[in-house]
Amino acid sequence: MLFDTHCHVNLYPDVPRLIREIEEQAIEVSLVTTEPELFPDCVQLVAHAPHIHPALGLLPHEIHRLAPQVECFLEFLPQTRFVGEVGLDYVTEDDAERRLQRSVFERILSACAEAGDKIISIHSRRAADAVIERVGRNFPGTVILHWFSGSPKNVTSAENCYFSVNPAMIKSRSGKKLIRAMDPAFILTETDGPFVEVAGRPARPSDIRQVINFFSRDWGCSHAEAEARVAANAIRAGLG
């Protein structure tokens, strides 16, 4: 059983074909969205695709445009257990923008914590410390740090958080170093397609097998065993 915990299914150029592939291969996919107003359309898009789970998102790096949609986000939140992509992005050095990101992210975390059953895919580019601090150690739900690019020290401090690994991470020295700092019991898989590429094309959920192959080699076990270990993590995280 394969799990893609972070995939922008609705942004591919061949969405109907991709949906058919996912269903035929029975891959469990979290369809992460970029803004709340897109969520209802994505729900309709995969209404007949039981392996695809629409997630409610609000991109941090477009916070000035998307902040007015926070109320919309909170309105839709009871309709799904899946949340993403949300978080912080400190590529910007503008203090006002960072404050607005934090304010929105804190409202989202508070609402998800109150619900208690959410599975959240979190963006933390250049903001690992701030994200981990706000999530805390005992968040009442499942926290997945998507395409994590913090430090090995951050990995250690992110107690009870899962990490979703994609094909881009297994190709870089820094990505491999971070993966090896992660507890294998808290590792999940993602593609972040279509933004991540494999062999010059957008990554597809079936490319998760490449990540599993990496784990197999790195953990010194068979492909089947590595797949089973990641699947067990996903099921424990509430994804299956």
**CB burial readout 188-198, b (16+ within 10 A) else e:** bbbbbbbebeb
Per-residue pLDDT for the chain (240 aa), expressed as one digit of tens each? 999 999 999 999 999 999 999 999 999 999 999 999 999 999 999 999 999 999 999 999 999 999 999 999 999 999 999 999 999 999 999 999 999 999 999 999 999 999 999 999 999 999 999 999 999 999 999 999 999 999 999 999 999 999 999 999 999 999 999 999 999 999 999 999 999 999 999 999 999 999 999 999 999 999 999 999 999 999 999 998
pTM over cut 0.95: yes
Q: Which CATH class is domain 57-188?
A: alpha beta
Kindly provide the b/e burial profile for residues 115-139, where b requires at least 16 CB atoms within 10 angstroms of the residue's own CB: eeebbbbbbbbebbbbbbebbeeeb
Cα distance between residue 47 and residue 30, in whole Å: 13
Give me the residue spans of the domains in the chain.
57-188
Bridge partners (DSSP) listed for residue 83: 56, 120
DSSP states of 157-170: HSTT-EEEE-TTGG
Angle at 154 between CA 148 and CA 155, to 5 degrees: 65
